[in-house]
Every structure is written in structure tokens, then in C-alpha cells.
């Protein structure tokens, strides 16, 4: 039986902290956070445990898909701040509001990102970049 090696990416303590802080700003539940990471309770618990025991400069290796998802969340947050401003509640609320963007078809960005995965997250990011 051949073993399939998966590409791993190095994720810094800052990236993990940013993911949890951003999803906290967005008001996401642990279930929604887990779903954003690809419905992997195992990976979520590893990251959550890593987050609680962080020392500055630490890192963890994660599957490439999880790395892409976390970096997309960070990129989306930065794009929202660029549109709405740093102190705007609208930036944090946008992710859960139904949206009339053609590709979202009335869904919230959160629903779309969870259902479409990393590619859906990239679409949301590109949409926001175009709105800036």
C-alpha cells in the first residue's frame, strides 16, 4: 500500500493568533471556525491547543489546504478593513450578512466560504479586493 504524502506549510504563531482573533471579531462559533478550516475537528483542536500555549516565534506545520484557508481569512479581514475602516462594526458584520454579489446569490460570505472551501474563500477575497 503506497502512502500519499501531503504538502505541509509552516504556519506561524502570529497567523494562528490572527485567525482566532479575526473569527472572534466576526462572532463565529467554534463550529463555524472548524467549518472554515475544512470541517476537521482534529486540525481545529490542534490549532486551538497551539493557540493556548503559544510562545512568540513558535510555528506549526499544517496541511496546505488549512494554510490557504487561514491566510485567506487574514486577507479577507484586511480587505474588509480597507473598505469599511478599522473601527467599523460593518467590517465585522459583513461576513454574516446576506449579499447580492452575483456569485454569492443572496448567501452570506460565511455560508459561501464554508460550502466552497478554500476556492470559495479566494473568490470572496478577490471580490473584496475589486471593491476597494
Residues 73-129 have pLDDT tens digits of: 999 999 999 999 877 789 899 999 999 999 999 999 999 999 999 999 999 999 999
User: Do the beta carbons of residue 107 and residue 99 sit within 8 Å?
Assistant: yes
Give the domain ranges of the chain: 8-131
pLDDT at residue number 30: 84
Residue 3 has pLDDT above 60, yes or no: no
User: Do the beta carbons of residue 52 and residue 58 sit within 8 Å?
Assistant: no
DSSP-derived 3-state class of residue 40: coil
Q: Say what the pTM is.
A: 0.84
Amino acid at each position: 500500500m503506497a502512502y500519499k504524502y501531503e504538502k505541509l506549510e509552516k504556519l506561524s504563531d502570529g497567523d494562528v493568533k490572527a485567525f482566532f482573533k479575526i473569527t472572534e471579531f466576526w462572532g463565529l462559533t467554534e463550529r463555524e471556525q472548524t467549518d472554515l478550516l475544512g470541517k476537521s475537528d482534529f486540525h481545529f483542536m490542534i490549532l486551538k491547543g497551539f493557540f493556548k500555549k503559544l510562545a512568540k516565534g513558535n510555528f506549526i506545520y499544517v496541511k496546505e489546504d488549512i494554510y490557504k484557508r487561514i491566510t485567506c481569512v487574514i486577507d479577507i479581514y484586511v480587505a474588509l478593513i480597507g473598505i469599511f475602516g478599522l473601527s467599523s462594526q460593518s467590517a465585522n458584520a459583513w461576513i454574516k450578512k446576506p449579499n447580492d454579489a452575483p456569485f454569492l446569490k443572496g448567501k452570506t460570505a460565511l455560508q459561501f466560504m464554508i460550502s466552497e472551501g478554500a476556492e470559495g474563500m479566494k473568490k470572496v477575497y478577490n471580490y473584496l479586493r475589486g471593491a476597494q
